[in-house]
Amino acid sequence: MPIIDNPIVLSDASLVLIEQKKATANFSHANWGDEDLQPVRREIREHYRNVQRLVCVYCLGSVSAHSAAGAPVEHIVPKSQHLHFMFEPENLCVICPDCNEFKSNRESLVNPVLTANRVNYPRNSALYRIVHPHFDSYDNHIAKFNRLYVECSDKGGYTIYICNLNRFFRRFGRCDELVNDVALAEQAERFFEDGIAPEQP
Ligand SMILES: [Zn+2]
């Protein structure tokens, strides 16, 4: 099951604010942070905090329950490159600040040029290079062993790469946790032998 099974249905008040914003001169992705869109961002953030139960869709770490900076709204397809998907419910979620900084505006579509003129948001999982939290099951693509992330598919590998999910090991260059944790080592062994991903916490 994808982590998100319930995309936001924006309130009428938010839809009005969005239409007003789109009608302004020089409307661009930079308008996302405008003061008058704060209620829209808050509504989106609160919805996905609840649906995701405060779990980051990329690293499965925590997003903050209260601080807006600790739960940035993520545009799965970057808003800087695909403006018309900026308020698309299935393009939105919340992630942790680290995943947000690492992923930044990296491309998530297989063929962004072909998709550039699409009016409707692509709903075919195969069109995405990343593990899409609305369409893909995380466990089919990434196996997580404590702080270690193992790719189970090309999508998993790309997501691990663009979000730098193995940042703990990139920083410390050690795997003592894996070696010293017997249960974890057994789990990892089973995975590498049988290809069975561990149960997510
Ligand atoms: Zn994260």
Map 120-179 to HEC letters.
CCCCCHHHECCCCCCCCCHHHCEEEECCEEEECCHHHHHHHHHCCCCHHHHHHCCCHHHH
- pLDDT (average), residues 12-30: 97
Would the pLDDT of 27 be above 80? yes
190 CA distance to ligand 1 centroid (A)? Answer: 26
Q: What is the pLDDT of residue 179?
A: 63
- With cut-offs at 50, 70 and 90, classify the pLDDT of residue 146: confident
64 CA distance to ligand 1 centroid (A)? Answer: 11
Cβ atoms within 10 Å, residue 60: 18
Residue 193 class from Cβ within 10 Å (0-12 exposed, 13-18 middle, 19+ buried)? exposed
Q: What is the pLDDT of residue 174?
A: 65
103 CA distance to ligand 1 centroid (A)? Answer: 10
Strands 92-94 and 142-145: what pairing? Answer: unpaired
Would the pLDDT of 21 be above 60? yes
80 CA distance to ligand 1 centroid (A)? Answer: 20
100 CA distance to ligand 1 centroid (A)? Answer: 7
- With cut-offs at 50, 70 and 90, classify the pLDDT of residue 48: very high
Taking only Cα atoms into account, the Rg of the chain, rounded to an integer number of angstroms, comes to 18
- pLDDT (average), residues 77-86: 92
Q: What is the pLDDT of residue 150?
A: 93
58 CA distance to ligand 1 centroid (A)? Answer: 5
Would the pLDDT of 108 be above 80? yes
Structure tokens at 184: 């974890």
Instruction: Report pTM.
Output: 0.89
Would the pLDDT of 145 be above 90? no
Would the pLDDT of 36 be above 60? yes
Q: What is the residue whose two structure tokens read 């139960």?
A: 53
Q: What is the pLDDT of residue 175?
A: 64
Q: What is the pLDDT of residue 181?
A: 73
Alpha helices in 9-140 (DSSP H): 12-22, 38-51, 97-103, 112-115
